[in-house]
Structure 1
Amino acid sequence: MSSSSSADTNGTKNYFVNFNQDTTSLAVGGKTGYQLFSLGSVDHLEQIYSNATEDSCIVERLFSSSLVAVVSLAAPRKLKVCHFKKGTEICNYSYSNTILAVKLNRARLVVCLEESLYIHNIRDMKVLHTIRDTPSNPNGLCSLSSNSENCYLAYPGSSTVGEVQIFDAMNLVKHNAKLMIHAHDSPLAALAFSPNGLRIATASEKGTVIRVFSVTDGTRLFEFRRGVKRCVSISCLSFSMCGQFLASSSNTETIHVFKLEEPKDSPRKNVEEAGWMGYFSTYLPTQVTDVFNQGRAFATAYLPFGGVKNVISIANIQDGLRLLVATEHGYLYIYNFNANEGGDLQLYKKYNLDDIAVDITDGKSGDEKPMKGLLGSYAGIVKGNPSGQMSGTESEKLREMEQATEVPPKDAFQFQDDQEYPPLTQNSDLD
């Protein structure tokens, strides 16, 4: 979820907030830079990095690594890839239009513009593929599976109806446009892959129904009704790491959590177990029986206010399942979540991210280290496939990298070990 990092008319600060792929950290971007917080404890929110060099409107961290992708409000067309533990900028790329979203996994980095997507190899930031002339996507809606074994990219296939285009971002030598799913009659509002990448959850601008589909063949697996009284604007969908639960947030104060229980064996069994209502429903119009068959929320959490964009995640922290809600106004809410009982979730902890101390565990704050090039910074305007233009040892190192990654591996570098960090030296000035 991306939100403006400037203050609104009431003086309220708006932040970009986002959880990383496995909900081990929270990234917060704003006018004074960005911060990374560890989510290893519910009783203490530890700031692990702070950078106060420029306003940040997109901040994406790769799992628990030192790799972070940043876009600033001052240069919304430029993507910076940084090693935050070293305080270095590895590379930066400029694009033809404003960057609306950046998605990462251990093999790919995807940059989303309003009418195109760029797929980079995360090991050397080479542009492997460009998806051009996509339907207008002004909100930068897209999702990349965090599982690089099932490395799928999803984005709207239409700007008028809720079509989801599934794209294979790993096997680029094959036919990439894997599948088109007609998910809703209204345009899409939210997308999310399950942790294994084999399911995708969707919601439309109408906001009443959430559906889950198989990425393999487009089969509809689950359908949940968020509500029937009013249409809402769903801003975030998120699977739990176990894949058993799906959370949904909107512009209301209610967070809904659905349980992904496998459907019954047969429609006949459903009718038999439903009693007279099941029998009666066989004679009702399809639209009515669809409402009867839709699952309802297993659990709900209530924010103290509505109308504020937020991101959500369900994670196991300190041997307990928790629902986390980070809002664009700079608050983190943590709810206890009983996986067996559900119901109304109790708020366990609330953090005001402005109040978190700026001291880092090693006693140094990130803003003491200006970002600088790791092996000599380079920049490029991304218009197509990159071409390396450099000389000497840098060119040799790049050739070695290109040889090592000629066939895209199943997993890229883990980035935890500084020795494994790829020596990116490419000059990407393009035609």
Structure 2
Amino acid sequence: MFRGVGTVETECSARKAGALVVTGKREVHTAESASGADDGQEEFEDIDLGFAKQQHSRWKMAEQTGGARVIKAGFNQDHSLVGICTREGAKIFDCDTVSCVYEHTEGAYSLLNMLNRTSLIAVVGAGEQPELSPRRLNVINTTRGSRVEMNFFSAILAVGMNLKRLVVVLEKKAYIHEMSSLNCLECLDTVPNPKGLCALSPNEDNCYLALPARTDVGAVLIHDALNLHALCQIHAHQSPLAAMAISADGNLLATASSQGTIIRVHVIPRAAKAYTFRRGSVPCAIYSLSFGPPQVFPQLLAATGASGTVHVFKLGPLERPPRSQLASSLLSAVMPPSMADMYEPERCCITIHHGCPPGVVSYCAVAGPPLETGDDGRPCLPRSNRPRVFVVTSAGYFHEYFLNLGSGREPGSFTLERECALISNPCDQVGAHFV
């Protein structure tokens, strides 16, 4: 797929266009062909991690809330890797061992996105160095050391990747690219989106893209990024959107508004409301939402916010609600919108108090149980049946919690398994710390 370092100039066009690759002084227009698509697919299958394993250090556990050390953090599609962006560069860590598996130290980065556990990553500079413009997306093959640059007309606010699509979100536009060739397939005009809110399905078959549809209320536009057409619009909240996430199979969309008191889950593409969770009664900024992996049953949804509490909700099967809940739904239908949420049903959840420092931006991910390593060095059977929640804070700390799911509507419990620093600080260096 990558034939050397080049630059792809993205056109402001909603039509399908070939990528313009600049190699030295020559300009070569590349067009996707059947053989080229096959070659790209073979490269995806042949790519391994290619990350240079490094011995990681552990640091003492005092959270430093004075200033953000991490500009942005994010997990890959199966939540096995976490990447952080700092003013010194970008790093990727293995979530099971918390060891640094890749490091890119060219300067300050604002975005880092990974394609599963392959060696393909996408990074965006923070603009502190001339060569790391926030308008330039670098798609890097860490195994081969090759790079493709894609320049846009304004700052890149978000990037989404799966095996078939690459999505780049600007403040008023969203570009959909073919992953195998990086050709621009469609350019979407969006409402002003200064936070770069978006969610791309990890599933390449149910390849749905969620974008804000309005700025005054929490409306979501669902776009079919595979077949390139609008699918539906979901009116999720009365207040503007604050966070979104799509499940691993692409069938569920979770949203939270700027109020942060209610989290809703909708079924895609029917645009039907499936679950309503009450996080609390006091408004709170929601920083991140994350669905659990499909092998964990019941399916889980985690949320982090400015309160410092991590909430884990159990979705469970979609069943017809009891008569009492039907009565509440009818009552909420005739109530003013500002009071309707008071009658929404609540569900059991696991509340991790002090899961992260209050007011510190945090990012969460739900993962399955850790796997044992066989004699051949490959992961095999899980060590337990307890799912986990990973939390990474902007102060540069990684927290791992093990969950005990309660039966039925009984609340569950949690244990703090591990916490460590992802950013080295010489004055903090100590041995590993496990709780």
TM over 0.5: yes
Q: Deviations over 1:48-96 (max 9, x none)?
A: 111111211101010000000000112100000001123331x101100
1:418 alignment partner in structure 2: none
In 1, Cα distance between equivalents of 2:416 and 2:285: 23
Q: How far, CA to CA, are the matches of 1:349 and 1:96 in structure 2?
A: 43
| Letter paired with 2:159 | V
2:401 alignment counterpart: 335
Q: Percent identity between the aligned chains?
A: 34
1:349 aligns with 2:418: yes
2:68 & 2:358 partners in 1: Cα distance?
A: 15
2:73 to 11, 17, 20: 17
Counterpart residue type for residue 114 of structure 1 = E
Q: 1:78 aligns with which of 136, 149, 159?
A: 136
Does residue 29 of the first structure (1) align with residue 85 of the second (2)? yes
Answering whether residue 295 of structure 2 is matched by residue 239 of structure 1, we say: no
CA offsets 1:204-225 (integer angstroms, 9 cap, x no match): 1111111111112111111111
1:12–1:265: structure 2 CA closer, same or farther, 3 Å change rule?
closer
Give matches, 1:205-216, under 5 Å: 205-216=258-269
CA distance in 2, matches of 1:185, 1:247: 22
The letter of the residue matching 2:249 is: N
Say whether the 8 Å CA contact 2:356–2:362 is kept in structure 1: no
Instruction: Give the corresponding residue for 1:193.
Output: 246
Please state how far the C-alpha of 1:29 moved relative to its aligned partner: 1.2
- Note the C-alpha offset of 1:283: 6.7
Alignment partner of 1:49 out of 82, 96, 102: 102
Deviation at 1:344, TM superposition (A): 4.0
Q: Which amino acid aligns with 1:223?
A: T
Task: Tell me the distance in 2 between the aligned counterparts of 1:85 and 1:51.
Answer: 13
Alignment partner of 1:323 is 2:380: no
Greater shift after overlay, 341-350 or 154-163?
A: 341-350
2:27 maps to what in 1? none
- Residue 225 of structure 2 aligns with which residue? 169
* Contact 1:226/1:296, CA 8 A, preserved across alignment: no
Q: TM-score, normalised by structure 2?
A: 0.72
The question of whether the paired residues in 1 share the 8 Å contact of 2:65 and 2:357 is answered with no
1:123 to 149, 160, 180: 180
Aligned partners of 2:167 and 2:177 also within 8 Å: yes
- Where 1:99 maps in the other structure, the secondary structure is coil
Specify the alignment match of 2:208 in structure 1: 152
Stretch deviating more after TM superposition (231-240 or 242-251): 242-251
Paired residue for 1:88? 146
| CA-CA distance at 1:297 after TM superposition | 4.5
For 1:354, what is the secondary structure of its paired residue? coil
- Would the alpha carbon gap of residues 123 and 356 (structure 1) be closer, same or farther in structure 2, given more than 3 Å must change? farther
- 2:108 counterpart letter in structure 1: D
Structure-1 residue corresponding to 2:359: 307
Shift of residue 46, structure 1, vs aligned partner: 1.7
Q: Secondary structure at the match of 2:156?
A: coil
1:298 aligns with 2:349: yes
Deviation at 1:263, TM superposition (A): 4.7
- CA distance in structure 2 between the aligned counterparts of 1:241 and 1:264, rounded to whole angstroms: 21
Using the alignment, how far apart are the partners of 2:413 and 2:242 within structure 1?
A: 26
Instruction: Give the counterpart letter for 2:405 in structure 1.
Output: A
The answer to whether structure 1 residue 60 and structure 2 residue 122 are counterparts is no
Per the alignment, in what secondary structure is the counterpart of residue 136 of structure 1? Answer: coil
Structure 2 equivalent of residue 178 of structure 1: 231
Can you list the C-alpha shifts for 1:300-325, whole angstroms capped at 9, x where unaligned?
A: 11325210111111101423410100
Residues 246/356 of structure 1: CA separation in 2 closer, same or farther (3 Å cut): farther
Count of aligned positions: 334
Distance 1:233 1:80 in 2: 31
- Structure 1 pair 182–82 and aligned structure 2 pair: CA distance change class (3 A): same
